[in-house]
Copies of this chain bind each other. A is one copy, B any other.
């Protein structure tokens, strides 16, 4: 369970490519440099392992990822991975955190009308789903993806409270909105949505998503939310 934060991932990788500023010990930096000169495979780190694994999932789906194939991609013995990642479950947790870090929720601005803010949250989620579609399918089918402490759930609840919903209903309705968006992107990604339509083109799918947001916003207003703000 060693997951490093991995916030600005690219910066971190660049940091590794050149000499790291704060190396743990002089020796480790020397050997790292020595290896780089000898053109050996890069030092294994949890960050590199997670990033490579995420790239594999993005490219080939969850089934395309195995400890052994990951090791091959890193040009390393399969067993070496276990010195940096306890097991495959932890690896999947790590790459999911890496992917979720790409989620960009617009900062809560209380001057934008709540329907617009609700739509923005929905679009952010959908954008993330498109970015890591293979992973999202896996994540939605397993618990713990959306967290109560996460920015998405926080923004959602904040907006619903701002729409005038009583406290007792915020969580309830938040779940309704979230499950619609989840279900939609899931069906969209696995192709079900297109199958059920006469014309399964991308624009029609987009219109379906907007229609869903329309209906939910309208229903929310009818349900007791304050119409304006």
Interface residues of A (CB under 8 A from B): 137-138, 140-148, 153, 169, 171-176, 178-184, 186-187, 190-193, 195-198, 204, 207-208, 211-212, 214-223
Counting chain B CB atoms within 10 Å of each CB, the highest count among A145, A191, A192, A221 belongs to: A192
Interchain CB contact under 8 A, A190 and B223: no
Interchain CB contact under 8 A, A143 and B208: no
Counting chain B CB atoms within 10 Å of each CB, the highest count among A183, A204, A212, A214 belongs to: A183
What is the predominant secondary structure among interface residues of chain A facing chain B? Answer: helix
Interchain CB contact under 8 A, B214 and A223: yes
The 4 nearest A-B residue pairs measured at CB: A183-B183, A219-B219, A215-B219, A179-B183
Interchain CB contact under 8 A, A171 and B148: no
A160 shortest CB reach to chain B, Å: 12
Other A-B contacts than A140-B187, A215-B216, A217-B219, 4 sampled, CB-CB below 8 A, are: A146-B195, A171-B197, A172-B197, A175-B187
**Residues on B with beta carbons closer than 8 Å to the beta carbon of A207:** 172
**Residues on B with beta carbons closer than 8 Å to the beta carbon of A147:** 195
Interchain CB contact under 8 A, B173 and A215: yes
Interchain CB contact under 8 A, A179 and B175: no
Interchain CB contact under 8 A, A172 and B219: no
A121 shortest CB reach to chain B, Å: 14
Q: Which residue of B lies closest to A200 (CB)?
A: B171
Interchain CB contact under 8 A, B186 and A140: yes
A154 shortest CB reach to chain B, Å: 11
A-B contact pairs, 7 of them (CB 8 A): A137-B141, A175-B184, A179-B183, A182-B183, A215-B215, A215-B216, A216-B216
**Residues on B with beta carbons closer than 8 Å to the beta carbon of A141:** 137-138, 140-141, 186, 190
Counting chain B CB atoms within 10 Å of each CB, the highest count among A173, A182, A219 belongs to: A219
A200 shortest CB reach to chain B, Å: 9
In the bound complex, how far is the Cα of B222 from the Cα of A218, in angstroms? 6
**Residues on B with beta carbons closer than 8 Å to the beta carbon of A186:** 140-141, 179, 182-183, 186
**Residues on B with beta carbons closer than 8 Å to the beta carbon of A214:** 219, 223
